[in-house]
Structure 1
Amino acid sequence: MQICTRCILPETFPGITFNEAGVCNHCQRFETFFATEKQKLKYQLKLAGMIETSGDRIPQILMAYSGGKDSTYTMWLLKQKYGASIKAFTFDNGFISPMATENIKRVCDRLDIEHFNVTYSQDMLDKLFRYGAENDMYPMKTMERASTICTICSGFFKSAAMMKGRIQA
């Protein structure tokens, strides 16, 4: 089975293609997005603006971490450039590969970031995913951004973040 030489997405991932170097279309698009220093600076300024609201204290961040390139770059930037104190969590939706789990652990260890998993009953998730696949649950505008199943997962990890944040406060 072919996997991306950069991000480890497999050939079974929907809509994936590979170039001659074995790099997937998602990584290629990511390179294009961050190709210019202007775009990198814009992203960094956006983060800096959010962090400025913390004043002189070290920003404390609870971050949803998928282990993908976007969240890895964001976590690295927050920790290395802005000195944020980060707690990262991953929502285990039952689709996380062992290799992705290992990559998440490796990155968090390297950056010295506390990490935990949020899990729900797989039976409950399966029922929700099945219901979502068989029914129109969300407006069409929502479906332009992500599938019903992805939107269900997003709701779970957002609520998990809010609950964890309230418990820690």
Structure 2
Amino acid sequence: MDTTDPEITFDAQGVCNHCHEFDQVTTKRWFPNEEGKRKLDVLVAQLKKEGEGKAYDCILGLSGGLDSSYLALVMKDYGLRPLMVHVDAGWNSEDAVKNINAVVDYCGFKLHTKVVDWEEVKDLQLAYLKAGVANQDVVQDHAFFANLYHFAVDNDIRYVINGGNIATESTFPSAWHHAAMDEISLKAIHKKYGKVALKDYQTISFFEYYVYFPFMKKMTAVRPLNLMPYSKEIAQQRLESIGYISYERKHGESRFTKFFQNYYLPKKFNMDKRKPHLSSLIMSGVITREQAVEKLNEPLYDPAELAEDKAFIAEKLGISVAELDKYVNEPGRHYTDFPNWDSRYALLKKVQGIVAKVTGKRVRLYS
């Protein structure tokens, strides 16, 4: 990591705040060892008990990516009965579709696929490009989690299995992005730049995300990958045995995410997401710093591949490549240029602190 993260700080030895955060805080939630195995066994027992008399023990969002696909195999190993949900927002790569089918065929789990109305997704994606904010993946991410959580409620499922993990994702500069779950921000951007009413596109409100789901519906998000040794190599080796096709890039399951992370962000905001990703792998002991620096010296995009992806994305969005380039090259805007949930979140954190002080217990908000 470097000063492209505007909030980074370094101590007298040149060690940054991300490393200190990892050593002092993050590692207390990471158990790639026998203790993790014991914790995972307890978690599985809880899930199975919760699922007694129900059709499913838990719910898992399956994107076709490495993390969620590997999790599906782990859940099969443990004899769990997840409802798998795939949300198709129109950007699936061909390999992602093949991988989803390979995982479902192997595991034998029931898969529900929600295809979001493309005209609505297209209009919202264009609105985000016109807004010029950093996190262009909000359109996909919000749809994914909104459908997943509402589906969990509709099917009386309390446990949401999340593929997020410390081993590969512990470093994240908070200044680079804004929360994908901020419905206020999403609707404000759509109101200003969108033209198509969002009828099929499902959202989650601030109240639902922080109060209704966690406290009223008792929904709990769990991350099993933090309770086991995990790396890209471990997952790939297991998944390739069932016919899984490995992606050349992280998040290769989405054509838009590939373009957004490897071209839009570096060019428009000077944000190279390889830096936090590789930093995470260094701190979890998967690679050395020297190997990471070598990786950073590789080009982000092959020119021919970039031209092909630009043409694909522009055509799918119904605009010219010149228009797409215009959106990328215009000055970026900060998310705070639009209405957002920051003031509500600050108030909620204040309430959280008061409740913790009065009760003597830490109140963990759903995230």
Coarse TM-score class (shorter-chain normalised): 0.5 to 0.7
> Structure 1: 5+ residue runs without aligned partners?
1-37, 138-146
Q: Say if 2:60 and 2:84, in contact at 8 Å, map to a contact too.
A: yes
Structure 1 counterpart of 2:64, from 50, 63, 67 = 67
Is 1:128 the counterpart of 2:124? The answer is yes
Q: Say if 1:133 and 1:148, in contact at 8 Å, map to a contact too.
A: no
Describe the superposition over 1:78-113 as per-residue Cα deviations: whole angstroms up to 9, x where unpaired. 221x21101111111111123321221121111111
Distance 1:90 1:49, change over 3 A: same
What is residue 54 of structure 1 aligned with on the other side? 47
Letter in 2 for 1:164: F
Could you say what secondary structure the match of 1:88 adopts?
strand
Describe the superposition over 1:36-73 as per-residue Cα deviations: whole angstroms up to 9, x where unpaired. xx737676566445434336455712110011111111
Q: Say if 2:47 and 2:58, in contact at 8 Å, map to a contact too.
A: no
Is 1:95 the counterpart of 2:91? The answer is yes
Is 1:111 the counterpart of 2:107? The answer is yes
Percent of paired sites with the same residue: 17
Q: Which has the higher strand share?
A: 1
Q: Say if 2:72 and 2:103, in contact at 8 Å, map to a contact too.
A: no
**Structure 1 ranges of 4+ moved more than 6 A:** none
Is 1:156 the counterpart of 2:143? The answer is yes
Could you say what secondary structure the match of 2:152 adopts?
helix
Alignment of 1:136-155 (within 5 A): 148-155=135-142
Could you say what secondary structure the match of 1:90 adopts?
strand
How does the TM-score come out when normalised to structure 1? 0.60
Between 49-58 and 125-134, the greater mean CA deviation after superposition: 49-58
Structure 1 counterpart of 2:76, from 69, 76, 79 = 79
If asked which structure has higher relative contact order (CA below 8 Å, sep 6+), I would say 2
Letter in 1 for 2:46: T
State the alpha-carbon separation in 1 of the partners of residues 128 and 39 from structure 2.
34
State the alpha-carbon separation in 2 of the partners of residues 108 and 100 from structure 1.
12
Could you say what secondary structure the match of 1:152 adopts?
helix
Count of paired positions: 122
Q: Tell me which structure has the larger Cα radius of gyration.
A: 2
Q: CA RMSD in A?
A: 2.6
Distance 1:46 1:114, change over 3 A: same
How does the TM-score come out when normalised to structure 2? 0.30
What is residue 152 of structure 2 aligned with on the other side? 165
